Amino acid sequence: MECLSVREDYKAAKKLAEAAVSAAQKNGVSPYLPVLEDLGNSLKEVRLGLMELPLSRITGNKEQGRNNAFANNFMPLLEEGSEFAVKWSNLYDSFLEEGIRDAIKVYEYMNRYYVQEGNKRVSVSMYGGMEFILADVIRIIPEKSESKEYKVYSEYLDFYDCTGNYYIIFSEPGEYSRLAGLLGLSLDREWPEEVCADLKCAYFSFCRKCRSELKIADYKALSEAFLMYVSIFPMKTLFRDTEEQVIKNIRSASKELLAGSKSSEISFLEAAPEAQSQKTSVFSKLFSGTKKYTSSSPLRVAFVYDADIEQSRWIDSHEAGRLYVDEMTGSNVVTRCYLGTEKNIEETVGKAVADKNEIIFTVSDRMMPDTLKAAVQNPGIKFLNCSLGNSRSSVRCYQGKLYEATFLMGILAADRLLLERTEGDRKIGYIVRSGADLSVAELNAFAVGASLIDPECRIVLRYANRANDTSFRGEFLDEGIHIYADFDQSSKAAQGSRPGLYLLGRDKDIYLGSPYYSWGKYYVQIVQSVLSGAWDVGEKMKYNNSANYWFGLSTGVVDIRTKNLGYQTSKLLAFFKDSIVNGGFGPFSGELHSQSGAVIHETSGRSSAVSLDQVNLEMSSIAFMDWLNENIDGELPSRESK
């Protein structure tokens, strides 16, 4: 009977293999296990020793060998009467009696594990429902590269050296550093044994509950969800709180734990909730329970700042927006600013919550982690964070398309430079005060605008990195640069210095114009959407997932100021501005070329006729730009400098 049972188990395992083969063929992928290709003899190998390896992490075989004996799910494919089938059945019989005694031998490469010896042991263990298997592991160190995959793996190696933890696997650069920061540690020294033990315990506890509650099975998705959980709740809750409380935490943060980090999951919206509601006014009648606000029971709106108003261009622009709300709304709206620092954001946001504000704006992406934490714990409050590209469903994000305005400034700069310098090299300087706050889209749009007027003009990128650093002026003069842009709105740019485009002089620089934000127009639209109930319509109908409001010239949230323009230049700028506002030609329309020569956006062909089919770059591609236009001299800041 026992032998019959074993034979039946082999038949069942073989059916699983055949189903995997059929599915693979339908999807156009290989039905067999991946094989680690010959990487040559130049790569370093490091013996890690015995590890309790999760079976889900084993990818394939180290060598081709009898790779066709297994489907891509490690289930057996060979016929039941084969010698292989007998050995598999005998091993499964032994597994049922005493488990797997001998360690398998695997090679790890880029966080994927390939079996050198023991693939039948892996197959039997997977069929038997085991989660882990004892493995003797050898790591192959890959060659250095600039790829995203290598950067993530390099951080993993640092994390492993600090913790010995090989269970937590992230997919985005910077996430291991973020986890370390949440625990008050770094990746440049070994972590205390107690912390490492707590981390492992907390991770396993979280995975068990998360699989049950949210049905997440993929190990990378579990790792990402774990990082999000400890960003919202202290890690100690996973092994100190009751199981009921932890499950309650997981359920309350379920949208965030399930949310991905891909740009395709983010909705970039160019209209405010109120504008959207006009199109759906029939449905708005369904929601008649909109709260009415009066002077005695006003809508309370908080603005949370992480720097002093008098010391930061960025904070000053948002404070002007808050005051605009006061001016444009009635007594049924009360606003208040909460001044904090980078070190006490959580406490400052907490004060805004305690004061019963119903809308809370946090005005920098540095505040997103604490904003998210407060939003999950206070679902009745509307939280908005001034950032772009964050896939958080509990917090709506907002930003202005300042790149549309810098595009116009690029046109102005090149036009003015042709008047100032008709011979020799023509260069325009571009100053960045903080590498962490550099908007690649704004820089590229400026460069594209300049190239439309003067294709030979070069944009020279310089990093100042201090609020009042003017050392670049001498460098620019020595290089023959007479016009420069300093558009930085970050907290490193002092409030007293005026952002803009300048003509460089020996003693004094001449202001030519600037792009600017008019945050008040955005804030008023959001407040009005809450007063009218349009926000709630949006909540119920469309905006449950990762809404990012990105307003441009057409909304008045961004615009340009200029000074003493000739009528020809005024007409030129008016033409391009009108085209952008009306949805025609924009900064990233048509063909684009990067520094490396890659064609970012190619037209359909060359002809003597001028094509009107100048397709705009997708908004997600603009938001996540990681390349520089071909006429820029300089490099993007390294991750370390950020």
Mean pLDDT by 10 residues, the chain (642 residues): 62 94 93 84 90 94 86 93 91 92 95 94 95 95 89 95 95 91 92 96 94 90 92 89 92 82 63 51 46 89 93 90 94 94 92 97 92 92 91 87 96 91 84 83 96 95 75 85 86 62 86 94 90 66 64 92 91 94 88 84 52 75 90 81 50
Instruction: Give the model's pLDDT for residue 613.
Output: 60
Quote the CA–CA distance of 315 and 638 in Å, as a whole number.
Answer: 26
Instruction: Give the model's pLDDT for residue 541.
Output: 39
Q: Domain ranges for the chain, please list them.
A: 1-143, 145-258, 267-400+520-551, 402-517+555-633
Three state DSSP letters for 275-286: HHHHHCHHHHCC
| Beta carbons of 460 and 275 less than 8 angstroms apart | no
Instruction: Give the model's pLDDT for residue 549.
Output: 87
Q: Which CATH architecture has domain 1-143?
A: Alpha-Beta Complex (3.90)
Instruction: Give the model's pLDDT for residue 120.
Output: 94
For residue 534, what are its two tokens?
Answer: 């349009």
267-400+520-551 CATH:
3.40.50.2300
Instruction: Give the model's pLDDT for residue 638.
Output: 67
Q: Do domains 1-143 and 267-400+520-551 have the same CATH topology?
A: no
Quote the CA–CA distance of 622 and 48 in Å, as a whole number.
Answer: 43
Instruction: Give the model's pLDDT for residue 278.
Output: 45
Instruction: Give the model's pLDDT for residue 536.
Output: 65
Sequence letter at residue 484:
Y
Quickly name the fold that domain 402-517+555-633 has. Rossmann fold (3.40.50)
pTM of the model: 0.76
Instruction: Give the model's pLDDT for residue 263.
Output: 43
Instruction: Give the model's pLDDT for residue 289.
Output: 53
Instruction: Give the model's pLDDT for residue 473.
Output: 83
C-alpha dihedral, 409 to 410 to 415 to 420, nearest 10°: 100
In this structure, are strands 45-54 and 132-140 parallel, antiparallel, or unpaired?
Answer: antiparallel
Q: Residue 392, Cβ neighbours under 10 Å: how many? A: 26
Instruction: Give the model's pLDDT for residue 224.
Output: 92
